[in-house]
């Protein structure tokens, strides 16, 4: 039975977080995992240059807590690394580390930030959907990977949790390539499940102190939950996150894939919950992303599904009053459907696959997700 540790953490106060993270490590019995001489990678969610209070990235205090827990158990070399969805360069990494508070966290606790932007192509013959991945170098060099995710709803994958966080192991603009290869949610979820199996983090710890609800992973709103949730099985962790957010596990493509493969238990009742009760952290009315699927399409006759899907599937829309013409949306678009005209982004919907990468990467929230008007009534 998969063990999931739940620890109350009502705020980001230093002592509060340090104690909550230490309880996570103790409850999960990680002492034997970390030892002298181990090279440990901390993989946070650093989706972009977002201040911690925006709740789009892993809070730096949680990362500090993980570093302290690792050092207490003898880890000598600790590296913080991630690759966001844009270009993958040392200068951009420095900007993101500074903006998310990771630079200060690393300096305060004596960890190292990764600036090596090299990667290697790794074969994964066990993959069911994808059997080859490009993986950033620090992931490949680590003896132990600690996956430190952020609890968020997500426009494409419904949930951004433990499994989805590992997409940051793929370098920069190669992420849009995978979106293009696997444009539909089920197959995209299958690909992420394969990636999760390849990376195989030792433990996944999710920052749910202040989560993001609504149109995440960057366009939503902060929502207090007040806990950390962790476990060795990232899919089991995500199952617990579904309970917190009120998401149907089958609506999360990575969990759907994991459930079909027998990699996750079928229900919350099959998890061994340790630590604090999960019940106080089951948040009523946790806002879901506007991009959630329209279930009744499956009930339509086959000839009507394609045109109905085209009409009813939520689409990204540029809010020109906010657009600054930076072209981060265009850089991240896997089908290259976005151009800058008169210093404003323009989307060619004929080629848009509705992966919402543009929404995810826009630094000024100039990309909205619009649903068919009927569903807003």
* pLDDT recorded at residue 293: 46
Q: Say how far apart CA 329 and CA 367 lie, in whole Å.
A: 9
Give the start-end residues of each E strand in 9-143.
39-44, 77-80, 112-113, 119-123, 132-136
pLDDT band at 307 (very low <50, low <70, confident <90, very high): low
Peptide bond connecting 128 to the previous residue in cis, omega within 30 degrees of 0: no
pLDDT in tens, 353-367: 888 889 888 999 999
Encode pLDDT of 320-330 as tens digits.
999 999 999 99
Q: What residues are paired with 123 via a beta bridge? A: 132
- Residue 310 confidence (pLDDT): 52
pLDDT of residue 276 exceeding 50: yes
List, in sequence order, every residue forming a beta bridge with 273; answer none if it has no partner: 4
pLDDT of residue 183: 87
d(Cα 205, Cα 287) in Å, to the nearest integer?
22
Return the pLDDT at 110: 97
pLDDT at 177: 87
ω into 217 cis (within 30 of 0): yes
Give pLDDT, residue 300: 47
pLDDT of residue 292: 55
Q: How far is CA 255 from the centre of its chain?
A: 13
pLDDT greater at residue 85 or residue 43: 43
Listed residue (111, 32, 36) closest to 78, CA to CA: 111
Tally: H helices and E strands in the chain: 13, 15
Using alpha carbons, select from 293, 281, 292 the residue that is nearest to residue 211: 281
Residue 154 has pLDDT above 90, yes or no: yes
Local confidence band at 164 (pLDDT 50, 70, 90 cut-offs): very high
Specify the pTM.
0.86
- Mean pLDDT (whole number) for 260-278: 96
The mean per-residue pLDDT over the stretch 148-154 comes to 98
* CA distances (Å), origin 302, targets 184, 200, 305, 312, 354: 18, 39, 5, 15, 21
* pLDDT over 70 at 374, yes or no: no
**Mean pLDDT across the chain:** 92
**What pLDDT does residue 299 have?**
44
- Whole-angstrom distance, CA of residue 204 vs CA of residue 230: 5
Alpha-carbon distance of 133 to 89, in angstroms, equals 19
- Going along the chain from its start, the domains and CATH numbers come out as 3-281 (3.40.50.11440), 295-376 (3.30.70.20)
Q: Give the mean pLDDT of 315-324.
A: 94
* pLDDT at 75 exceeding the cut of 90: yes
CA 119 to chain centre: 20
Contact between 130 and 194 under an 8 Å Cβ cutoff? The reply is yes
pLDDT at site 337:
94
């Amino acid at each position: 039975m998969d063990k999931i540790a739940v620890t109350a953490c009502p705020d980001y106060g230093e002592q509060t977080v340090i104690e909550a993270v230490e309880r996570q490590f103790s409850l999960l019995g990680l002492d034997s995992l970390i030892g002298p001489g181990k090279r440990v990678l901390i993989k946070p969610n650093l989706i972009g240059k977002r201040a911690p209070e925006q709740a789009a990235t892993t809070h730096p205090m949680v990362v500090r807590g993980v570093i302290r827990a690792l050092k207490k158990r003898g880890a000598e070399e600790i590296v913080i690394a991630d690759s966001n969805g844009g270009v993958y360069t040392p200068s951009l990494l420095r900007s993101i580390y500074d903006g998310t508070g990771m630079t200060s966290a690393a300096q305060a606790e004596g960890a190292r930030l990764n600036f090596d932007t090299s990667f290697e192509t790794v074969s994964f013959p066990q993959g069911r959907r994808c059997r080859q991945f490009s993986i950033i170098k620090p992931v490949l060099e680590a003896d132990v990977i600690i996956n430190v995710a952020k609890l968020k709803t997500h426009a494409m994958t419904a949930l951004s949790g433990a499994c989805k966080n590992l997409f940051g192991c793929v370098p920069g603009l190669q992420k849009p390539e995978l979106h293009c290869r696997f444009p539909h949610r089920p197959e995209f979820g299958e690909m992420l499940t394969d990636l999760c199996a390849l990376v195989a983090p030792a433990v996944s710890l999710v920052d749910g102190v202040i989560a993001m609800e609504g149109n995440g992973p960057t366009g939503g709103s902060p929502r207090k939950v007040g806990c950390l949730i962790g476990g060795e099985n990232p899919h089991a962790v995500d199952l617990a996150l579904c309970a917190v957010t009120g998401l149907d596990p089958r609506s999360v493509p990575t969990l759907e894939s994991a459930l079909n493969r027998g990699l996750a238990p079928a229900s919350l009742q099959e998890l061994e919950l340790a630590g604090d009760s999960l019940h106080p952290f089951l948040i009523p009315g946790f806002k879901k992303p506007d991009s959630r699927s329209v279930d009744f399409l499956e009930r339509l006759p086959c000839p009507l599904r394609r045109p109905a899907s085209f009409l009813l599937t939520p689409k990204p829309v540029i809010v020109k009053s906010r657009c600054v013409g930076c072209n981060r949306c265009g850089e991240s678009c896997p089908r290259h459907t976005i151009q800058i005209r008169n210093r404003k982004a323009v989307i060619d919907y004929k080629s848009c696959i509705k992966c919402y990468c543009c929404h995810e990467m826009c630094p000024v929230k100039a990309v909205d997700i619009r649903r068919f008007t009927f569903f807003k009534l």
